[in-house]
Amino acid sequence: MSALFPFRALRPDPAAAPRVASVPYDVVNTEEARELSSGNPLSFLHVTRSEIDLPADTGPYDTSVYEQAVASFEALKRDAPFVIDEEPSLYAYRLRMGAHEQTGLAGCFSVDEYDRGLIKKHEKTRKDKEDDRTRHITELRAQTGLVFLTYRASAPVNAVMRRATSAAPLYDLVAPDGVAHTVWRIGGADRDALVEAFGRLDSLYIADGHHRAASAARVRHTVHGAEAARFVAVAFPDNEMQVLPYNRTVRDLAGQTPDSLLAKLRDVCAVSAGGPSPSRQGEVSMFLGGTWYKLVLPAPTSGASRADGLDVEILQQRVLEPLLGIGDPRVDKRIDFVGGIRGPAELERLVNSRRAAVAFSMFPVSVADLMAIADAGDIMPPKSTWFEPKLRDGLIVHLI
């Protein structure tokens, strides 16, 4: 079963929602957050990236950062203003980006089920990032970021969601990046029907937000009460999810020339002229010396796990580590990762501007791969998936 809990969301007045809603805290750095929030005192980035309102030399984990987050949160609740729903509710959250549309269900989920592996993960987390969000949640007594879940599509859930989203929404806004965000509050019989339908789901999977979930699990050991034993998330059916590639750039060629690297690559995989985007799994597009090449990766070794058979892992083991000296991609400063939403043009720009020496455009991992790897209890390679479109922070907050 998958326990689903309605809750009384803290949320902005609809008139203020377009100014409050902000990108997730972890997809921008401090400078980008400062620029995005400039001239907008209602931006939720003042809460999630509160260092933007402190001196530039303030450390990201300094005590003043969390004190500022609390002050900004209190000011925003007053000035937006924010309201708290009178009865525990669920919330439908629709994302629309171009022709793509997906509708998820926002509610609270069980920390116990997360700890027991019933809410399945596929990534490792970093202690410093866990420490940061754990303190952020504890100081604010609020979970301000939404975990992004997926589940195998359910006809009963779909039926109730279609009915619930035929009503007038709470919010219907288009963010500066062109993505539309529409939110409905669900109460009464539809709310109860969704709780029952989720109770029949075998598993939930974390698609994005592993640090948010891990931090919520830690908080409940120091903050007591029913709400602290739950975390807020939006769950989307797997057949509506859109996964984009997570591309790679390497800053130098480890002392090699483009020609010498190409020669070594030809000993590892098939190399030919190609385009900027691979057409299938097992292919990688490489931008080197102003030219795009197609690399056909070697097949996974016999008996390899599904995680070891992913293109990103084969590229790491057969190319990035032996040929370019990238040992651990989680910590190596010579490798950078570029979300697929930026497209191959961004890879070209980075190489042409000499901020990178070579770039690799990947074929996206499937949701089926993610689920199978999580079901097996395995961990995906770092930076394997980029989910798009992304939820906005600030529209639905869970008080603990």
**Confidence class for position 290, pLDDT limits 50, 70, 90:** very high
Q: What is the pLDDT of residues 75-101, one digit of tens each?
A: 999 999 999 999 999 999 999 999 999
Of 266, 269, 146, 163, the closest CA to residue 207 belongs to 146
Q: Rounded to an integer, what distance in angstroms lies between the CA atom of residue 287 and that of residue 274?
A: 9
Q: What is the mean pLDDT of residues 339-363?
A: 97
Domain boundaries, the chain: 4-243+388-399, 246-363
pLDDT at 288 over 90: yes
What is the per-residue pLDDT across 171-219, written as a single tens digit (0 to 9) for each?
Answer: 999 999 999 999 999 999 999 999 999 999 999 999 999 999 999 999 9
Q: What is the mean pLDDT of residues 381-391?
A: 94
The CA distance from 274 to 278, in Å, is 8
Q: 107 with 91: CB under 8 angstroms? A: yes
Q: Which residue has the tokens 């996974």?
A: 300
pTM, full prediction: 0.94
Fill in the DSSP letter of residue 238: G
**What are 186's strand-pairing partners?**
90
